[in-house]
Amino acid sequence: MSDDETPQTTRRKYLTVGGALAASGLIAGCTGGTGSRETTTAGETTTDETTTAGETTTGEQETTAAGESYTVSMPPVGEVTFDGVPETWVANNGSWADMGVALGVEPPKGVWLTSRYHTQYYDAIDGVSVDKSDMVSLYQDGVSKELFYELGGDVHVIDPNFLMNRFKGWEQQDVDEVEQNIGPFFGNSIFSTGYKWHEGYPYLSLYEAFGKLAQVFQRTDRYEAFSALHDEFQTKVSDVVPSSKSERPQVAIMWASGNEPESFSPYLIGEGTSFKQWRDLQVRDAFAETDVKDFHSTRGEIDYETLLKIDPDVLLLRGHESQTAKEFQNTVVSFMKNHDVASSLTAVKNGDVYRGGPLYQGPITNLVLTERAAKQVYGVDEKLFDRQRVADIVNGNF
């Protein structure tokens, strides 16, 4: 490094963006977008367009010889050119962080909220673990641009539109500054399809996003191994789903704050990755044929009286992933059993109130959560994926 170079200018030589974001934060017709969007109706999943696992678009390279640059595209940021494999990175959330774990790279230096990156899921897999004790929460009553400088990530796996639309404080000029002085943005908000600001560019499925991150870290071999494992896993999941729709439970997914909840934020099962296990298990959405609106569109809540009118077979409560199943039963479920109205709900009487999964999941956590969900709604006790095989892929032994 010469005397007039700072770490930031050196890093900028290392990673460059092949095109600035438009002033609106969106790119119209950006290259490399898959255009794939999943839609779900009555437990059926269809795809408008599909991308073959491991497929790369024009300008993308799966493998790169030492010293060669390579380009990977991601809506909405367009094409990003890398002059070397990133060594440090920052992730938007646990979805992307988990993808990094699956690729066998060092964990990100920061995520949006470390409390929502549930690394305890790795406890189910010997040989896979993550220490997040030094990981930083990007959101600390706002998101400080100075924190990005402190973290010094070679790449920011964050949808810049998320930064500019989720809270006041970030504008396009701030995104441009971080890209110019620290490192590029490379991300797409995939966990939910409820944000209006995301309508100008395509969502990616979990494995489409995973494949792109694998290209960034030049570890497409691990991605391909996981993709093959996932295909086999999907076959096993399909086998446990009752052929008759009437035999599949009607579930209500809600956010429940605290251990004695009196009201809930309802979630309709949508296209985002946070609902993947429920789409794959083809459960029936208890809210889909009611006038209850999704939390993302209204920020509204429902109470026990509304729930009693719908009376779902199963209640799946988010916001309690930091608790064990036993802790959840001893707090939230115990409270509901002793509640004047909640105790009359079918799900409460039958013991079918469970933790509903996190907002964020990647390829490894999806395996764990889908297997858990199959046990919750279908009583499946068998293991649906090979733990050792997962550990082997993560550690490069495949």
pLDDT digits 0-9 by tens, 228-247: 999 999 999 999 999 999 99
Distance CA 216, CA 343 (A): 51
In-domain check, residue 2: no
In-domain check, residue 33: yes
Q: Are residues 113 and 35 in the same domain?
A: yes
Q: Are residues 203 and 321 in the same domain?
A: no
Pair type for strands 263-267 and 250-255: antiparallel
According to the model, what pLDDT value does residue 195 have? Answer: 82
Boundaries of domain holding 381: 243-393
In-domain check, residue 398: no
Residue whose C-alpha is closest to residue 51's, from 33, 64, 63, 39: 33
Q: Are residues 182 and 267 in the same domain?
A: no
Q: Are residues 136 and 282 in the same domain?
A: no
Distance CA 235, CA 238 (A): 5
In-domain check, residue 101: yes
According to the model, what pLDDT value does residue 300 have? Answer: 83
Residue whose C-alpha is closest to residue 357's, from 342, 345, 373: 373
In-domain check, residue 1: no
According to the model, what pLDDT value does residue 197 have? Answer: 86
DSSP code at position 373: H
Q: Could you tell me the mean pLDDT of each successive run of 10 residues in the chain, 398 residues long?
A: 41 41 32 33 34 35 65 97 97 97 98 96 97 96 95 98 88 96 96 85 96 98 98 98 96 96 95 95 96 78 97 98 97 98 98 97 98 98 97 96
According to the model, what pLDDT value does residue 64 have? Answer: 55
Q: Are residues 339 and 219 in the same domain?
A: no
Q: Tell whether omega for the bond before 266 is within 30 degrees of 0, i.e. cis.
A: no
According to the model, what pLDDT value does residue 67 have? Answer: 64
| CA separation, residue 390 to residues 69, 84, 367, 397 (Å) | 30, 27, 10, 10
DSSP code at position 351: T
Contact 202, 26 (CB under 8 A): no
Q: Are residues 198 and 69 in the same domain?
A: yes
Q: Are residues 139 and 167 in the same domain?
A: yes
Residue whose C-alpha is closest to residue 97's, from 80, 116, 78: 116
Last residue of a domain, one of 194, 211, 234: 234
According to the model, what pLDDT value does residue 294 have? Answer: 77
pTM, full prediction = 0.83
Q: 3-state DSSP: the chain helix, strand, coil percent, rounded to 5?
A: 40, 15, 50
Q: Are residues 292 and 221 in the same domain?
A: no
The first and second tokens of residue 37, run together, are 């969007």
In-domain check, residue 230: yes
CATH number reported for the structural domain that contains residue 322 in this entry: 3.40.50.1980
Last residue of a domain, one of 191, 206, 234: 234
SS3 189: coil
Q: Are residues 220 and 256 in the same domain?
A: no
Question: 40 - beta bridge partners?
Answer: 45
Q: Are residues 109 and 215 in the same domain?
A: yes
According to the model, what pLDDT value does residue 23 have? Answer: 32
In-domain check, residue 328: yes
19-45 as b/e, with b when 16 or more CB fall inside 10 Å?
eebeeebbbeebbbbbeeebebeebee
In-domain check, residue 337: yes
Distance CA 184, CA 195 (A): 23
According to the model, what pLDDT value does residue 296 have? Answer: 67
Q: Name the helix (H) or strand (E) containing 210.
A: helix 206-216
What is the number of domains present in the chain? 2
| CA separation, residue 365 to residues 7, 76, 137, 357, 378 (Å) | 35, 25, 20, 10, 19
Q: Are residues 61 and 155 in the same domain?
A: yes
- 150-187: per-residue pLDDT in tens? 999 999 999 999 999 987 889 999 999 999 999 999 99
Last residue of a domain, one of 210, 234, 258: 234
Q: Are residues 22 and 131 in the same domain?
A: yes
Burial of 231 (0-12, 13-18, 19+ CB in 10 A): exposed
